[in-house]
Structure 1
Amino acid sequence: MRRKENRLPGFGLSMGFTLFYLGIVVLLPLSAIFLQTFEISWERFWEIVLAPRVLASFRVTFVTALLAALVNAVFGLLVAWVLVRYSFPGKKLIDGMVDLPFALPTAVAGISLTAIYAENGWGGSLLKHVGIQAAFTPLGITIALVFIGLPFVVRTVQPVLQELEKEVEEAAVSLGAFRWRTFRSVLLPPLLPALLTGFALAFARGIGEYGSVVFISGNMPMKTEIAPLLIMTKLEQYDYAGATAVALVMLVISFVLLLLINFMQWRLSRRMLRS
């Protein structure tokens, strides 16, 4: 006996439109990178991507994006917790300010952060007194990526926090569990998939960020030059093969990292369903 498929009407048409849309919007532009890269030899490809300047840009890009995503995972969870669990004057205003990096042009954010954290800015002057330079260093890049990545964590964790029942937390506390144990054993497991999603989104945004970083980084080769800026530099020099080779490596690394994060999220979700 043939098993009846449990699908809503219109599945075939909807799936076909979805695949067509993703193919035109996502796969077709990305395939152009592969096609352009295939026009050069493997020897030339590895010569481009293993150049010291390119490797240094990869290191700056991925390390700063990872650090910023980790910072946002911690403080984004804290901000979401405050917005969900507490009531205070100005809560709506603060909740709206979280989305400000979404609406603010990245160039405006970069200029503002550079003005604040430069040596003559109020933030940079305070850090200078303790021997820390923010602008035109990897630290400044990380600060810019924290600024643009925070909303991704907050907006993915916030709905999950709103759905968690406070009674479960109160029951754990009444049974003698300390606050840290309650958070670790009761609250953190259902929050982890959403937290990983926010981390992945902030990390992906940080890898490809350009506008808010290009001003505060200083764009010094081998020190603060990010990979997106290096791609733009190669394009301005009409080195299309070099630009596509660097872009291809970034695409592959980003895809593998996001795939691993999604796999971890899937494993956590399955473990929660089993428990």
Structure 2
Amino acid sequence: MNGGFHVVKQSKRRRVLPGFGLSMGYTVIYLSLIVLIPIAVLFLKATTISLAEFWETITDERVVASYKLTFYTSFVAAMVNVLFGTLIAWVLVRYDFVGKRFVDALVDLPFALPTAVAGIALTAIYAPNGWIGQYFEAAGVKIAYTQYGIMIALTFIGLPFVVRSVQPVLQELDQQYEEAAATLGANSAQIFFKIIFPAIFPAVLTGFGLAFARALGEYGSVVFISGNMPMKTEIVPLLIITKLEQYNYGGAAAIAAVMLVISFLLLFLINFWQWRTARKHQVT
């Protein structure tokens, strides 16, 4: 009797949401409309030009320079965010201080702030006559309209991804392991690298991947502070917009398709590394 009631109870729990077939159908339709179909159309648009034109477009010196700049600055910005984003998450979780909630809310500001507004604000601050830029200009360092300005903009928009990825993991991390290691004679560095870092590393990788992916497609905040100089500070999204303004839809689609393939491969490797790291941590 109890066994039958248990089976009925499990069956009801399984039917709280639609069955697998219906849920999977909704999932496939939604992903197709939002992700798969637009990507497929992008590749189809790239096939409107000949293979020779496609190759000539994606190997153009200006295009290659924009690819290098975009991936390089995005990687550097993501790495900076990993370092300082993890530190900010640590401070928000492990310490109590006046204004903590304000600082915690401030982390999400790049999410809410329009990217164009962020770009204008950063340009005003780091321009040669800006509040901060004037001091660097006096020291012979130019930030706005250089790669440094691009990195600052990409760091600004990518910081919340790292903080919000690492923060929940730190909150759930049991401090008893740290206390036990301390009683056994482990110093602070050993506790961090042997206990804390392995636990938060998958989350750090997630934050890095999200910040890196966000930086690759950023346009609004970068277009103002970069200066948009071909071969120097011209990013891929701006180059795509330029192609579209010239009604070269095939060329724009070709550049975007290459960008998409490279980004997907990099994110796949990051996710695979994250999965391996998380699995290894669970086994150990």
Q: Percent identity?
A: 61
* 1:154 pairs with 2:163: yes
Give the 5 Å matches for 1:263-274.
263-274=272-283
* 1:77 pairs with 2:48: no
Give the 5 Å matches for 1:209-220.
209-220=218-229
Partner of 1:113: 122
- For the 8 Å contact 2:117–2:221, the answer to whether it is kept is yes
In the alignment, the residues of structure 2 paired with residue 115 and residue 273 of structure 1 have an alpha-carbon distance, to the nearest angstrom, of 48
Partner of 1:56: 65
In the alignment, the residues of structure 1 paired with residue 183 and residue 218 of structure 2 have an alpha-carbon distance, to the nearest angstrom, of 46
Task: Report SS of the residue matched to 1:136.
Answer: coil
Counterpart amino acid of residue 151 in structure 2:
T
In the alignment, the residues of structure 2 paired with residue 29 and residue 89 of structure 1 have an alpha-carbon distance, to the nearest angstrom, of 47
Partner of 1:27: 36
Task: Report SS of the residue matched to 1:43.
Answer: helix
Following superposition, the deviation at residue 42 of structure 1 comes to 1.4
Aligned residues: 270
Give the 5 Å matches for 1:106-185.
106-185=115-194
Superposed CA deviations along residues 181-214 of structure 1, whole A, max 9, x for unmatched, are 1110100111011110000000000000000000
Partner of 2:262: 253
Following superposition, the deviation at residue 147 of structure 1 comes to 0.4
Counterpart amino acid of residue 47 in structure 1:
E
- For the 8 Å contact 2:119–2:221, the answer to whether it is kept is yes
Unaligned runs of 5+ residues in structure 2 are 1-10
Task: Report SS of the residue matched to 2:132.
Answer: helix
Q: TM-score scaled by structure 2?
A: 0.93
Partner of 1:3: none
Following superposition, the deviation at residue 131 of structure 1 comes to 2.1
Partner of 1:228: 237
Counterpart amino acid of residue 214 in structure 1:
V
Counterpart amino acid of residue 232 in structure 1:
I
* 1:11 pairs with 2:25: no
Instruction: State the Cα RMSD in Å.
Output: 1.2
Partner of 2:111: 102
In the alignment, the residues of structure 2 paired with residue 161 and residue 126 of structure 1 have an alpha-carbon distance, to the nearest angstrom, of 37
Counterpart amino acid of residue 157 in structure 1:
V
In the alignment, the residues of structure 1 paired with residue 61 and residue 33 of structure 2 have an alpha-carbon distance, to the nearest angstrom, of 35
- For the 8 Å contact 2:158–2:215, the answer to whether it is kept is yes
Partner of 1:45: 54
Partner of 2:209: 200
In the alignment, the residues of structure 2 paired with residue 128 and residue 8 of structure 1 have an alpha-carbon distance, to the nearest angstrom, of 64
Mean CA deviation greater in 124-133 or 109-118: 124-133
Q: TM-score scaled by structure 1?
A: 0.96
Following superposition, the deviation at residue 8 of structure 1 comes to 3.6
Partner of 2:3: none
Following superposition, the deviation at residue 178 of structure 1 comes to 1.3
Structure index of larger Rg: 2
Following superposition, the deviation at residue 129 of structure 1 comes to 2.8
In the alignment, the residues of structure 2 paired with residue 184 and residue 23 of structure 1 have an alpha-carbon distance, to the nearest angstrom, of 42
- For the 8 Å contact 2:47–2:250, the answer to whether it is kept is no
